[in-house]
Chain A
Amino acid sequence: MKIKQLSIFAENKPGHLAACCRLLAENAVDLRALTVADTQHFGILRVLVKDADQARAILEKAGHVVKTTEVLAVEVADQPGGLVRVLSALEDSPLNPLNIEYAYAAPFGRNGKAVLIFRFGDPDAAAQRLRESGIAVLSSKEFFGSQE
């Protein structure tokens, strides 16, 4: 149920993000979701692409520092309170709350539902908890096939 996410280190300077995206574009890598975390001096570009291993190899060959992490793509009802339902499921057990490291939204949804990307310290435990609460966690195939 986990999806591979690529994180790329970028200095907080003009042109650095563009260089990285240009490289992926030249290699016909389609970005399905992305977010940029920024600090005063550096940023982290996080992307979801279909073939993460291939994209990582392209980026590393060009000298970028890349990390692969596993995230969950979670389907949320696209209406007020949709996200709250997910969050409530996660804090369900006060003895063992599941901490969200960060989250962002995928730029598409389906069947009136939005797709949110979550990074957890323990993705397996989180996926299990969500499924037990009846919340859909998308597989890689479902996620990357969802626009086709």
Chain B
Amino acid sequence: MTAKTPSFHPASAPDFVPLPLLRALQFDRLRAIVQHAYDHVELFRKRLQERKVLPADLRAAEDVACLPFTTKADLRDTYPFGLFAKPLRDIVRLHASSGTTGKPIVVAYTKGDIDVWTSVMVRSFATCGVHEGDIIQNAYGYGLFTGGLGAHYGAEGLGATVIPISGGNTDRQIMVMKDFGVTAICCTPSYFLHLIDRAQQLGVDMKALPLRVGIFGAEPWTHSMRKHIETVTHVRAFDIYGLSEIIGPGVAIECSQHDGLHIFEDHFYPEIIDPETGKVLPDGAEGELVLTTLSKWAMPMIRYRTRDITALVPGTCACGRTSRRMRRIGRRSDDMLIIRGVNVYPSQIETVLLEVEGTLPHYQIVLSREHGLDQMEVQVEVTSQIFSDRVGALEALSEKLVDAIERVIGIRIKVTLVEPQTIGRSEGKAKRVLDRRST
């Protein structure tokens, strides 16, 4: 843990260093970490040897493009410790991501790595205007998931008061938020929408609370969700980006301009590639985000393919930070569903639900196959806002959703209204798609 930094000022962070200095720093760190990975990770060394590339061949930060990619499959194939570049005695923490199939993905941190992680989380909080004296409700799950502890260490490092409430137990969350005078909250955006809903049911006026900052991440969300949150509460909503394979939360954060997320480039080197060809794309072009960790020693990730689709924002940000920005993640390349040959992204369904209902209910997409034909059903939890005592009104709502979804994705699907709390929630991350087609 880094020592508490009294009166940390965001301008003291490396986010504002002149670009030439930043590039030089990135290059120094890149060369060292690539050498370290080459010396200690067998898979990486073999791949460089196949390409006849040596760490010493790197001449600039951009030369990272001549290195091979690392994928989620590599992490799975080398489970559990195969990509570690430090012996276990130097590793102070292990985390694991919830694997959707079989074994999870294991990630490791040295003491120094934890310090780096803490520092980027401190900078993330500061960028959102959270400071010493703030009371932070950390509703990310604590445990193997990186969200809880990552945000916790950052909040403490900042010198704020952290409430390690973890996820779940919504009524208690609302009681704590109200009684402890919480000023900032960290959780998934879908969980915050759920908190808003429940607070309303319990007669708690969110607008009357001192809560002013929300740091939302761990799943993609949309501009309309931000607008909704900022209308029904006094919370300024910030998007935070991160993934366990790279470090956890704190890879990138929105500033007050809300025009993309600043990547902590002194630690994470970003590239955008064409997911089909693997070719690096220029700033502004949409493609898959690839990240290289520049200062993580237990488990360096060289050119890790995140599967997240975004673009680097060209030009400089009005806030003065020199670090590059990425567009908010709207979709993941492996999110795409193919239904009767049509490409569908869950975010499209989300947009329709928000448009029609004015709020995002909890929902799930269920795919099945009947008589060889793909069937898609969207199950929507009924909320007090949309519930009516008239059958006709509820049937009209389903019908309206079916029509609106058809206009967006081009196929007619089924909408089913279900009771609240019946769609599964895991680790606070909404599980949006249930594919039963293969069973």
Contacts and interface: CB of A to CB of B under 8 A. Distances in A.
Contacts of A46: 389
A31 to B, nearest CB: 16
A44 interface: yes
B422 interface: yes
B360 to A, nearest CB: 16
Contacts of A41: 416-417
Contacts of A108: none
A66 B384 contact: yes
B383 interface: yes
A65 B391 contact: no
Contacts of B175: none
Contacts of B388: 7, 67
A65 B389 contact: no
Contact of A9 (B201, B382, B416): B382
A119 interface: yes
Q: Is the interface of B mostly helix, strand, loop or mixed?
A: loop
Nearest to A5: B389
B390 A65 contact: no
Contacts of B420: 63-65
Q: Is the interface of A mostly helix, strand, loop or mixed?
A: strand
Given A65-B384, A66-B384, A9 B419 contact: yes
A23 to B, nearest CB: 13
Contacts of B383: 65
Interface in A77-121: 101-102, 119
A16 interface: yes
Interface in B403-437: 416-422
A46 B387 CA distance: 13
A69 B389 contact: yes
B394 interface: yes
Nearest to A71: B389
A37 B395 CA distance: 12
A44 B201 contact: no
A67 B384 contact: yes
A11 interface: yes
Contact of A16 (B384, B391, B419): B419
A36 B416 CA distance: 19
Contacts of B418: 11, 42
Nearest to B201: A60
Nearest to A38: B391
A11 B387 CA distance: 13
A41 B390 CA distance: 14
Contacts of B394: 39, 42, 44
Given A60-B201, A65-B384, A67-B384, A9 B390 contact: no
B389 A44 contact: yes
Interface of B: 201, 382-384, 387-391, 394-395, 416-422
Q: Would you list the 9 A-B pairs with minimal beta carbon distance, nearest first?
A: A7-B389, A65-B387, A9-B382, A69-B389, A63-B421, A65-B382, A37-B391, A11-B419, A67-B389
16 contacts: A7-B388, A7-B389, A9-B382, A9-B419, A11-B418, A11-B419, A11-B422, A41-B417, A42-B418, A46-B389, A63-B421, A64-B419, A65-B383, A65-B420, A67-B389, A119-B389
